[in-house]
Structure 1
């Protein structure tokens, strides 16, 4: 019995003695001896907190080191390919990597790449608190400080514009016919573009709130005072009509101007010659279009481009077409006629034709039949037995 008691006391002393860093014993004449535990953080808990902190933040030193290694690798790759390292562009790098490391993987993101670190590592916000843990920004605890800071700035500009408007009204100089911002050919930044600008993720509701606030700022009479700020959140649209090549006018021995263009739809290929100062005759493969296209719908396809620009009956049309069916041939001829008309119309009419869809090729083709099915989409009749 005494031996077991000694072993129990010895185990207790060993237990408290091994945890001397975490426990201390207080001695007092009136208070019994009680173990008091200090607050400490174990290494396992520290790792858990690091994992819960989110994705790893790449420091500036790390990015600079990666850029330095990229430049060294770029020079080595240029020397391997026999190129000048000073004029070795990113296109040359991609071509060299595809040559040295050929890959048959269909997923392009799984293929070997060598890109600049700024393209590989995502953008991230800088450290937002000081050494004592105090955040720099007063909107830090909203969780979206950049987004709410932007809304705060927009609303401040609205209030400032209202004050300016009141001052002009008090001076008797207010007028609603003020200079407006030219927004033709531009659009608001998309949600993904705003997220990239703010380096924050926002919801669809937050995006709509921001656009509504910007629209309110844009609708004010003196919005031109903040033109530079508003245009930061607008993106210019590419002029599509500049992509269309306008065929040059040609002259025959009699001095008559004509234009030649091609068109395609499905497997049909068409070629058109428009001769100016004609009588409106249309021949397809040496035959009158009334005999070549018995259906009224196909004839309307041919006449629509000429009718749209108001030049019906002005040209003699000579066309040749082959392949596919009558509907696809009519579509190919219509596209060829539209392209040939570009040489005879103004830039404004070219843009109207583009908006009407006359200059856009129809990319639709017949969908292939799928194995195990009756057709491209149709399934076999299901039978239970």
Structure 2
């Protein structure tokens, strides 16, 4: 009953309020059209100014003054920490700071990011993009509305370099000169930047398709005969890698009392260890733990793995091999012998063939290990059979 009365009273209250407002409006002095228009325009302009101010302010940023202040506080804290530890503040490194923090504030928190730390502000505050708009909210870059202005600007610059090289080549051809392909860049020993490294430079997220398009454009530029005129630009997106072949140590050949050359090497895989001696001018005889390899490895797959280094170098039935292996299972021992025999064969071949062996993976130890069994499971990956009851 109370709900029904309240429902009927609501329209009556609205009607009374409307009549009261009309009476108040008649009592006041009416405004002319010009004053009303001026008020509306002023209000609209003020609202637009507030909105423009909000747009121009942009996202929250760490200013240079803020970073400078944080660096000063970090240096002061480092000096105090060095004095507390009784060390010289001038030679107090970041490793010393981490060690002192761990000593003064021991913590058993599992997540290392939640533990007490004292890092340089450049390591804590992320690298930020440059200001993308002016004080009036207008974009500073002509590619702002693409959504990826830094990426498309980089693509634009790279294509400009490509056109410059092409124009240079056309000028040489117009003079009747031939293009010298020796000016092409030698990119051996380096690689292109990966997507994460490129994102760190651009301070922007890239899709796989964007990254692929950029690398294709760089490769097209690097494949041009006269790309060396833009060498500095290309090398900005290359990162040097250490060639493993330069670290490969080749043992010199040794000779026994009969004057036969031989080489000895060791190989490991998992828990198996193999020692191999390869003799030159042999007939292909292979002995493993004083037993013929056919009887020691009855499975064909293991024997094929054993003979692969000789087959790769086309040296089947040209060497004799004596092996001593222990530990591990059947396939593990075969892998250890294969690695040891490949290392021993390096003494009989040229450096070019050694490089081919390295690229084929014959000189690299297999790092794989048996995966541990997980609790609550039948094995490392296998689960127990599910039963409804």
Determine the structure 2 residue equivalent to 1:167.
Answer: 171
Query: Comparing both structures, which one devotes a greater share of its residues to helix?
Result: 2
Determine the structure 2 residue equivalent to 1:366.
Answer: 370
Q: Distance in 1 between matches of 2:247 and 2:104?
A: 35
Structure 2 counterpart of 1:208, from 198, 208, 212: 212
How far the C-alpha of 1:356 sits from its partner, in A, is 1.1
How far the C-alpha of 1:30 sits from its partner, in A, is 8.6
Q: Distance in 1 between matches of 2:314 and 2:333?
A: 23
Q: Distance in 2 between matches of 1:35 and 1:206?
A: 52
Matched ranges for 1:195-344 at <5 A: 195-244=199-248, 246=249, 248-249=251-252, 254=257, 259-274=263-278, 282-310=286-314, 317-344=321-348
Matched residue SS, 2:76: helix
How far the C-alpha of 1:239 sits from its partner, in A, is 1.3
Structure 1 counterpart of 2:126, from 106, 122, 127: 122
- Is the 1:270–1:319 contact (alpha carbons within 8 Å) kept by the matching residues of 2? yes
Q: Distance in 2 between matches of 1:322 and 1:138?
A: 69
Matched ranges for 1:336-355 at <5 A: 336-355=340-359
How far the C-alpha of 1:160 sits from its partner, in A, is 3.1
Q: Distance in 1 between matches of 2:134 and 2:114?
A: 40
Q: Distance in 2 between matches of 1:222 and 1:26?
A: 84
How far the C-alpha of 1:369 sits from its partner, in A, is 3.6
Q: 1:30 to 1:72 in 2, by over 3 A?
A: closer
How far the C-alpha of 1:126 sits from its partner, in A, is 2.4
In angstroms, what is the RMSD of aligned CA positions? Answer: 4.2
- Is the 2:184–2:224 contact (alpha carbons within 8 Å) kept by the matching residues of 1? no
- Is the 2:151–2:202 contact (alpha carbons within 8 Å) kept by the matching residues of 1? yes
- Is the 1:26–1:34 contact (alpha carbons within 8 Å) kept by the matching residues of 2? no
Report how many residues are paired.
362
Q: 1:294 to 1:225 in 2, by over 3 A?
A: same
How far the C-alpha of 1:336 sits from its partner, in A, is 2.5
Query: Per-residue CA shift, 1:251-291, capped at 9, x if unaligned?
Result: 68858776554332232233334566777654433444344
How far the C-alpha of 1:363 sits from its partner, in A, is 2.8
Query: Per-residue CA shift, 1:23-67, capped at 9, x if unaligned?
Result: xx99757999999573557xxx99xx69x944x321122222333
Q: 1:298 to 1:199 in 2, by over 3 A?
A: same
Q: What residue ranges of structure 1 are gaps of 5+ in the alignment?
A: 14-24
Matched residue SS, 1:360: coil
Q: 1:86 to 1:346 in 2, by over 3 A?
A: farther
Q: Distance in 2 between matches of 1:258 and 1:99?
A: 56
Structure 1 counterpart of 2:142, from 138, 143, 168: 138
- Is the 1:261–1:273 contact (alpha carbons within 8 Å) kept by the matching residues of 2? yes
Query: Per-residue CA shift, 1:83-115, capped at 9, x if unaligned?
Result: 544444444444454555555555444444443
Q: Distance in 2 between matches of 1:77 and 1:267?
A: 47
Q: 1:154 to 1:84 in 2, by over 3 A?
A: same
Matched residue SS, 2:355: helix
Determine the structure 2 residue equivalent to 1:192.
Answer: 196
Matched residue SS, 1:207: helix
Q: Distance in 2 between matches of 1:267 and 1:140?
A: 59
How far the C-alpha of 1:353 sits from its partner, in A, is 1.8
